[in-house]
Structure 1
Amino acid sequence: MRVYLLILSLFFCGVSFAQSTISGSVTDAKKESIPGANINVVGESSGASTDFDGSFTLKSSRNLPLTIKITAVGYETKTINVTSASQKINVSLAEERTMLNEIVVSASRTPERVIESPVTIERMGIQDVKNTTAPSFYEGLENLKEVVFNTSSISFKSVNTRGFATVANTRFMQLVDGMDNSSPALNFVLGNLIGLNDLDVASVELLPGASSALYGANAFNGILFMNSKSPFTYQGISTYFKYGQTTQDVAGTNDYVDFGFRGATAFGKHFALKANFNFVRATEWIADDLRSLTGGSIGHEHNQNYDGLNTYGDEVTTFIPNVGQVSRTGYHEKDLNNNKAESVKADFAMHFKPWDNETEIIFQYKLGIGSTIYQGANRYSLKNFFMDQTKIEVKGKNFFARVYMTTEDAGDSYDMRFAGWNINRAAKSDTEWFTNYATAYQYAGAVMGTNADQSANIARSFADYNVLPAAISFIPKPTGLPRFEPGTPQFNTAFANVTSNPNLTEGAKFIDHSKLYHSDVNYNFKDLIKFAEIQVGGSWREYVMNSEGTIFTDYDGPLNYKEYGAYTQLAKKFMDDRLKFTGSIRYDKSQNFKGNVSPRVSFVYSAGESKVHNFRVSYQTGFRNPTTQDQYIGLDLGPFALIGSAPENLDRFTEVRNVSPAGQAAGNPATVEMSGQNAYHNAYTVASVQAFAASSNPKDLVVANIGLVKPEEVQAFEVGYRSVVRDFSIDLNAYYNIYNNFMNTARVISPYYGKVGTDVTNPDVLQSYQALAFGDRRVYQVYTNTSAQITSFGVGAGLSKKVYKDFEVGVSYNYSQFNFDQSKDPGFVAGFNTPKHRIKGSFGNSKLFKNFGFNMNVRWNTAYLWEASFADGIVPENTVFDAQVNYGIPKLKSVIKVGATNIFGKDYIQVIGAGLIGQQWFASWTINP
């Protein structure tokens, strides 16, 4: 807080050392102001931007005369010669009829027009942020034509491009001011938890496809760049306040609050500061899917083995002779967290320009604190989760070098499934509960003559609440306590104890103090080498995993491993600059894997007299290293354990298992020690063990030949066309991807003793059959690669046009499909999780009449299969309509905006197991002088 007070005092008390001051205004052809236009002194890095009414004040260290350049998204660039300090600069910019001339950097790591990009690229600028119909710019990304969102909760949304994505989309990379803001521990992006607030967004660029040739591992299916505003160019204090409400069938109607602040100032040409703050509070989209994962009806009344999708504790189940399979009574997810989402983001940056050139030194610090819900193998309440990033960067006209550190703290986060299990156990152990159930069930039938459902309900009442009908009240009372009902003091005490205990046999808390260190450099030789534009660069990264043994096998201290990479790129134009060739190649090496080479080759040809018909073709490869979880997790989930496949991890994970009385009678010890070696090198497939249990035929058993996980690879072929034809902006693309060594998880069963195999004459093999028959076996989930080759194919088309005056209409269509031979890997789960058909449309006018604009968006997709470790199911077809209107008040330097999402629609879902997405309306007041 003291730092921010100091920053504010500097904003108000700063002294300028500039020698020349230039004032003016920027308007369009209709003499309406253009806010957010950039004004730069040619040959100098100093600049300014227009405020709400189009006016600007530019301070320069140079003496007059000088030349300024005025640019604005959607308008043609203009340069003006300034000869006198009294000269009033009133500039009128002509509108561009296409957005394809916008400048992007991410596609080739060098500035180029969108229309000349060698790969498909999507962009969101300052004006797009203003016009978005979503509550925030990040949520507005869903309206880009290549994007599908996977929504885990109201504040946890992950970007899916080109398929094969769960909520934890580790195949997609997200950079904020050049920093990877994924979790150091689990390597997935936490939405916009530590991203940007709307006031500080300069541009967003999205590459929906393999990008490893320039950006290395994990830029596999796409990469998102979020770039903030420079305090040298965008100065002043801006703020906004949003209030609205969310409505969901389960959660009802609840308040939504969002507040943002940005302050920036430059102290002459050499030093500038900025600070941002953002606070959001809302009620979650509550997950309350009651479908039974074990089949049968919903609820225990007619289904004694009921396991509800969003109830936890009922996964604990056992087979009781003469009764059947029975599960404990679970707790609804909505009773295991407070269903409140909260996010606090802040950042501070100091920018130095020590010399009179474009060299700039940046120190930046970002932090995010929040509470939200994440869905992986289980549903997790991320409570008071904390992440921060610290960066030092030096950049100039043709180079940059940066180093940053990311740290995270899980705070009070916990696993809701384990919370349900262990709150139940705090009242009564599993053994006593099932014994109570069996006793009451059998006495009810024998003494009272009840049917199966009646006996089951009597048994559950006794096991849960120690209550019996009078006819069988002679049954001895349990020693355990009655079930803790949500909201009672007993439940609250048990909940607090369980969620603060990191021992998953008794608690649900997980600990994470992991870190990530990263550095990368790039140099462009375009001023030194003239025959082509050549770049070189490289990166280095170190992961430090520190979960204190609650997630990883870091029981004896933090684990760490390193990665590095280097690349070069050559770009050259031929045929009167009509044909542009770009070739790049990158080498990456991870500590635990062989090195990987990623090439990319692309051609862009500009046809037509004005070079407006741009055809592109590219080939590139991408790869993804196994995540920290894939390599080093060692997590006992009760019914099964997760085992990462790093060679050292197989020995690090150990557990002691109790041998059954039958197994001991056969000459085996009372306990055995199991390790990760058992999971990967001495196990049968789950399906074959199930077949063996039904037939008792050893021929049904299949040895699980599980290889250690290695990087997955993709070969990506893409063609595209961009143009402007009769005021139609056209963007077409098609891609074909070939995936090899696709990462996958598998369930296996390892016997406590004996050696797996099919040789019935081998005593060790026979001993493994005996272990399976006695129930002396352990289920593991392991990380490996499929032998099946997977291909995916997609096409995309985007059209936009101004149809009447300033009305603009846009429409896009995407088709996505994948294929693989299931027979080559019967247990493989693809997890494509992407609709085959998607259509998006927009219609708006930012200048409907003076100071008033509006915009509308509609999204439609076909139904599709969702496959993930938590649950599988069909995501239904849905249509979503969003809209907003905005009104400017120049005298107050303000914009009033009212918007709503999912207008007229029913609650819909994007992730099986997550809450249905309801409706949201909001009103905002933005002050941007």
Structure 2
Amino acid sequence: MRTFLPLMLLFFCFASYSQTTVTGNVVDNNGLPILGANIIVTNTSQGTVTDFDGNFTLTVSEPLPFSLEISSVGFESKSFEITTNNQVVNAVLVEGTSLDEIVVSASRTPERIFESPVTVERFGINEVKNTAAATFYGGLENLKGVDINTNSLTFQSVNTRGFATFANTRFVQLVDGMDNAAPVLNFPLGNLLGMTELDVHSIELLPGASSALYGANAFNGILFMTSKNPFDFEGISAYYKQGITSQEAAGDNSFFDFGVRVAKKFSDKFAAKANFSFLKGTDWYAVSEKDVLNPGRDRSHPNYDGLNIYGDEVFTNIKGVGEGLAAAGLIPAAAVNLLPSENVSRTGYAERDLTDYNAESVKFDAALYYRPWGNDFEISYLGKIGVGSTIYQGANRYAINNFFLQQHKIEFKNDNFFLRGYITDEDAGDSYDTRFTAVNLNRQWKSDREWFGQYAGAFIQGTLAGLSPEQAHALGRQTADTGRFEPGTPEFQNAFNKVTNDPNPTTGGQFKDASQLRHADANYNFTHLMPDIAEVQVGGSFREYRLNSFGTIFTDFDGPISYNEYGAYLQVQKKLVDDRLKLTGSVRYDESELFDGSFSPRFSIAYSAGEKRNHNIRGSVQSGFRNPTTQDLFIGLDVGRAILVGSAEANLDRYNNTFPISGAGAAATGSNSGTVSGRDAYENAFSLSSVNAGAPEAANVDLVKPEQVTAFEVGYRARLGRVILDMNVYYNQYQDFISNETVIVPLYGEVGDNSLSLLALQQGDVKPFQTYTNSDADVKSYGATVGIGSRVFGNFDLDANYTFAEEDFDQASAPDFRTSFNTPKHKVKVSFGNTDVVKNLGFNINYRWSDAFEWQATFADGNVPAYSVVDAQINYTIPVIKSTLKMGAANIGNNEYFTAFGTGLIGTQYYVSLTINNL
């Protein structure tokens, strides 16, 4: 072990050169310093950025002479030849375009956006400063082709190119190279464990498939968030944001957001930083009482099931209850005929009675950086902790309270390689399922059997007394609800506390989780060894999941479930025709312990045309894949409307449960109960569509396997004087598309073999299961984005973009299959602003319009109406203290809207913020 680290460092550092230091200053053509300008050694990833005053210092191991490329959003890049040590570079950048900005994500190597072979969006330091959204993360919504689904005040989900719910498992978010998806969920909780706005260096977004370089689940897009290195950004900076959220349902509520960053470069060899932020506010209330089963019904209907009312999912046929009462000798047999054959549901509790809507996010991270030889070779440790309270909408609505997520990373890197390993660990804290909390609150004071019995008895009495059916139903509910725990009373609170601390879904609502994800990946760029041949990169990754929900989510009641995945890739890139033509080829192989391996190739071509190389044409074809998620494989959870059972072969017999059956079923089987397993959902079930059509047929659901996509894209970028244009068109063809299929499992009998299973259907002795499988139907999607920007009226920025997205899926060919495309067909976004209307004073206005679309999810399906939103901010820079004062509002006019069916309406956020010494 003592010799391992020196040997590894020697392996990755083939060549060592004497150090060269370059200092300088970057300003615009008005002499104003440019914050965050990129200084990159040409054809390498070595570089730095300018500070608040436009100054920079760069020390590299590159042999003299070499070139520096200096760029910033909105300016033309410039190159400088470096011929001596300690050379001073003073750069004046003239007005240019965002296409000159440097990105790394598209090819894992620095290149201008203009020359990128695929579509890429960037959001940097200046965009963070000028965003009109209440948070920088919310500002990503103004990028073209981007959707943000707002789950709650502290949880927003980024998506591109469709097929997403809040459980967006087709989109990857990397924070300093770490996938910050929660292992139990397989998707990131927005910026709950991201970074503070003070530490954001750059955000890059690749829409579409990226599996060839980034592996599984980089399927519909990938977001890269990169923080500031303390060697380049040192000092103490802080911000404080105060405001109110305004919503008709919740009223006006205050919120605040505070953050501080401390970074110190102790020497050329050692630097460190720490970040802390704390956001607290009131979440958007979800108060819809629309009936999920029949939107035309109101709360007076006997079988009412409100969208944001929980506990009313428990129902039964009231005539069947009467038959049971008669069989027990509690009512005369003749009285059963007075009961209608009609479903009746228990009285539910409103969501606002089941959560305090506390929205809270606490983030802390600390990092140590060591450069043993004072050059580009760096060893670093990064630890991140996130604690938060939010609302998550999945199969049910979950109150995420004191959710704890941590990540720890160790990384070795220089300009030619990186080797990193990290672990993600989570704890569900005091989180609970609001639906099961309501169900079991009802059962705390009265069992379902007793409640429905009292309802039936009162209905019969009311009918005999001459009441109409509507009046008899009202009397039945009133009688059965006698003694009900009322919100706000000590009895309610005591029962609530008991239920939310009980992880047993039959008696409680708590969910527990302590799952982990372990990941390692590496990359080596051989270009410095063959600079005249091609740029060649190789890399690989390994990942292990360790699921530990104590049987509350997964079928891990007898201990943690573990499995792993690994992959390797190769990329070759070559420039030809006087560097106008760029060819890139990539291929990746991935394999899971549970599935066969698969290849993901990508080929792209980009050509810069025109005398000034101001026209860039690009095209690519690539494949991507997505492994089934941990929930697709090992979930075993009864969510009320259905039982969710993952389809890993090892999981099928891990879920078993016993349910009571009807009198007729008991007479036919000789038992008062029936037992079903997860295997029954896949091998002994009726398809839902056939049952609804009155002609029951076997479902025969196949076990889930990896999903694949073949993606085609062409694009065009141009600089036409003061106008920049960026557009793309894409077409995706999916194979083995992963989604859910609901089936009906009889509690007794064999489907297709005897009449017992049909008797179970007739008597209601069945259970709906949600299975995880692949569609045989063709699923395709296509779309386009167009972005145009220019300087108008002198130095005002005007940008606009349009996004079109559509799916091509024949629902009739697979009636039980749901794609959950969940994306508006048309979107328009416009931005207008000026960073210096007068000296130090700037503003920005953003307008967004989104078309109506249908939302499909396990929680509920429904229409999301079209909406228009305006955000605006005005800011004033105070140079003497290197600070910025900002006032702004998101959703000016309080035109309340929602981006997903079942969530709270989004109101307005007004805020004032002060950012001090933001280096």
Q: Scaled by the length of structure 2, what TM-score is found?
A: 0.92
- The equivalent position to 2:311 in structure 1, one of 304, 310, 313, is 313
CA contact (8 A) 2:521 2:539 kept: yes
CA contact (8 A) 1:61 1:269 kept: no
Distance in 1 (CA, whole Å) between partners of 2:65 and 2:729 is 51
What secondary structure sits across from 1:595 in the alignment?
A: strand
- The equivalent position to 1:453 in structure 2, one of 470, 483, 487, is 470
Distance in 2 (CA, whole Å) between partners of 1:493 and 1:840 is 49
Q: Is 1:565 matched up with 2:567?
A: yes
Cα displacement (A) at 1:292: 0.9
Distance in 2 (CA, whole Å) between partners of 1:858 and 1:819 is 29
Q: Is 1:211 matched up with 2:210?
A: yes
What secondary structure sits across from 1:569 in the alignment?
A: strand
Q: Deviations over 1:413-472 (max 9, x none)?
A: 00000011111111111111111111112212212x22222222222121112xxxxxxx
Q: Is 1:720 matched up with 2:709?
A: no
Cα displacement (A) at 1:652: 1.3
CA contact (8 A) 1:44 1:356 kept: no
CA contact (8 A) 2:43 2:110 kept: no
CA contact (8 A) 2:276 2:364 kept: yes
Match of 2:412 in 1: 394
Q: Deviations over 1:356-406 (max 9, x none)?
A: 431111100001000000001100011000000000011111111110000
Cα displacement (A) at 1:507: 0.4
* Aligned residue identity for 1:364: L
Q: Deviations over 1:197-218 (max 9, x none)?
A: 1110110000000111111110
Distance in 2 (CA, whole Å) between partners of 1:42 and 1:794 is 35
What secondary structure sits across from 1:769 in the alignment?
A: helix
Distance in 1 (CA, whole Å) between partners of 2:463 and 2:45 is 87
Match of 2:15 in 1: none
Distance in 1 (CA, whole Å) between partners of 2:447 and 2:283 is 32
* Aligned residue identity for 1:457: A
Cα displacement (A) at 1:65: 14
Q: Is 1:27 matched up with 2:44?
A: no
Match of 2:195 in 1: 196
Cα displacement (A) at 1:613: 0.8
Distance in 1 (CA, whole Å) between partners of 2:566 and 2:42 is 38
* Aligned residue identity for 1:392: I
**Matching of residues 207-606 of structure 1 within 5 Å:** 207-295=206-294, 299-301=298-300, 303-321=301-319, 322-323=339-340, 324-447=342-465, 449-465=466-482, 482-529=483-530, 530-606=532-608
Q: Aligned in 2, Cα 1:45/1:809: closer, same or farther, shift over 3 Å?
A: closer
Q: Deviations over 1:708-760 (max 9, x none)?
A: 00111111000000110122111010001111111121111222333211xxx
Distance in 1 (CA, whole Å) between partners of 2:236 and 2:387 is 23
Cα displacement (A) at 1:503: 0.5
Cα displacement (A) at 1:69: 7.8
Q: Percent identity, please.
A: 54
Distance in 1 (CA, whole Å) between partners of 2:481 and 2:244 is 39
Cα displacement (A) at 1:348: 0.4
What secondary structure sits across from 2:287 in the alignment?
A: coil
Distance in 2 (CA, whole Å) between partners of 1:583 and 1:272 is 37
Match of 2:323 in 1: none
After TM superposition, the structure 1 stretch with the greater mean CA deviation from structure 2, 899-908 or 70-79, is: 70-79
Q: Aligned in 2, Cα 1:724/1:462: closer, same or farther, shift over 3 Å?
A: same
Distance in 1 (CA, whole Å) between partners of 2:614 and 2:66 is 33
Cα displacement (A) at 1:663: 2.8
CA contact (8 A) 2:619 2:714 kept: yes
Distance in 2 (CA, whole Å) between partners of 1:44 and 1:821 is 48
Match of 2:117 in 1: 118
Q: Aligned in 2, Cα 1:364/1:662: closer, same or farther, shift over 3 Å?
A: same
What secondary structure sits across from 2:754 in the alignment?
A: helix
Distance in 1 (CA, whole Å) between partners of 2:218 and 2:541 is 14
Match of 2:897 in 1: 908
CA contact (8 A) 1:45 1:357 kept: no
Cα displacement (A) at 1:768: 2.4
* Aligned residue identity for 2:783: G
Distance in 2 (CA, whole Å) between partners of 1:453 and 1:673 is 37
Distance in 1 (CA, whole Å) between partners of 2:666 and 2:218 is 52
Q: Aligned in 2, Cα 1:66/1:815: closer, same or farther, shift over 3 Å?
A: closer
Match of 2:619 in 1: 617
Cα displacement (A) at 1:676: 1.5
- The equivalent position to 2:724 in structure 1, one of 729, 737, 748, is 729
Cα displacement (A) at 1:484: 0.8
Cα displacement (A) at 1:38: 5.8
Q: Deviations over 1:116-172 (max 9, x none)?
A: 111111001111111111111111000001101111111111011000110110000
CA contact (8 A) 2:174 2:180 kept: yes
What secondary structure sits across from 1:843 in the alignment?
A: strand
Match of 1:8 in 2: none
CA contact (8 A) 1:298 1:308 kept: no
After TM superposition, the structure 1 stretch with the greater mean CA deviation from structure 2, 367-376 or 566-575, is: 566-575
Q: Aligned in 2, Cα 1:564/1:47: closer, same or farther, shift over 3 Å?
A: closer
Match of 1:805 in 2: 794
Distance in 1 (CA, whole Å) between partners of 2:868 and 2:295 is 31
Cα displacement (A) at 1:267: 1.3
Q: Aligned in 2, Cα 1:183/1:744: closer, same or farther, shift over 3 Å?
A: same
CA contact (8 A) 1:66 1:83 kept: no
After TM superposition, the structure 1 stretch with the greater mean CA deviation from structure 2, 631-640 or 283-292, is: 631-640
What secondary structure sits across from 1:115 in the alignment?
A: helix
Distance in 2 (CA, whole Å) between partners of 1:97 and 1:487 is 61
What secondary structure sits across from 2:368 in the alignment?
A: strand
**Matching of residues 887-906 of structure 1 within 5 Å:** 887-906=876-895
Distance in 1 (CA, whole Å) between partners of 2:853 and 2:71 is 43
Distance in 1 (CA, whole Å) between partners of 2:583 and 2:65 is 40
Cα displacement (A) at 1:701: 1.7
CA contact (8 A) 2:46 2:376 kept: no
CA contact (8 A) 2:44 2:110 kept: no
Match of 1:739 in 2: 734
Match of 2:180 in 1: 181
CA contact (8 A) 1:48 1:234 kept: no
Q: Aligned in 2, Cα 1:138/1:598: closer, same or farther, shift over 3 Å?
A: same
* Aligned residue identity for 2:711: A
Match of 1:703 in 2: 698
CA contact (8 A) 1:503 1:509 kept: yes
Match of 1:646 in 2: 648
Distance in 2 (CA, whole Å) between partners of 1:59 and 1:573 is 28
Cα displacement (A) at 1:550: 0.5
What secondary structure sits across from 1:250 in the alignment?
A: coil
* Aligned residue identity for 1:866: W
* Aligned residue identity for 1:518: H
What secondary structure sits across from 1:127 in the alignment?
A: helix
CA contact (8 A) 1:48 1:235 kept: no
Distance in 1 (CA, whole Å) between partners of 2:410 and 2:168 is 28
Distance in 2 (CA, whole Å) between partners of 1:43 and 1:464 is 74
Cα displacement (A) at 1:706: 0.3
CA contact (8 A) 1:360 1:395 kept: yes
Q: Is 1:796 matched up with 2:759?
A: no
Count of aligned pairs = 877
What secondary structure sits across from 1:456 in the alignment?
A: helix
CA contact (8 A) 1:47 1:233 kept: no
Distance in 2 (CA, whole Å) between partners of 1:45 and 1:690 is 60
- The equivalent position to 1:816 in structure 2, one of 805, 812, 836, is 805
* Aligned residue identity for 1:730: L
Q: Deviations over 1:176-213 (max 9, x none)?
A: 00000001112011000110111101100000001111
**Matching of residues 57-72 of structure 1 within 5 Å:** 72=72
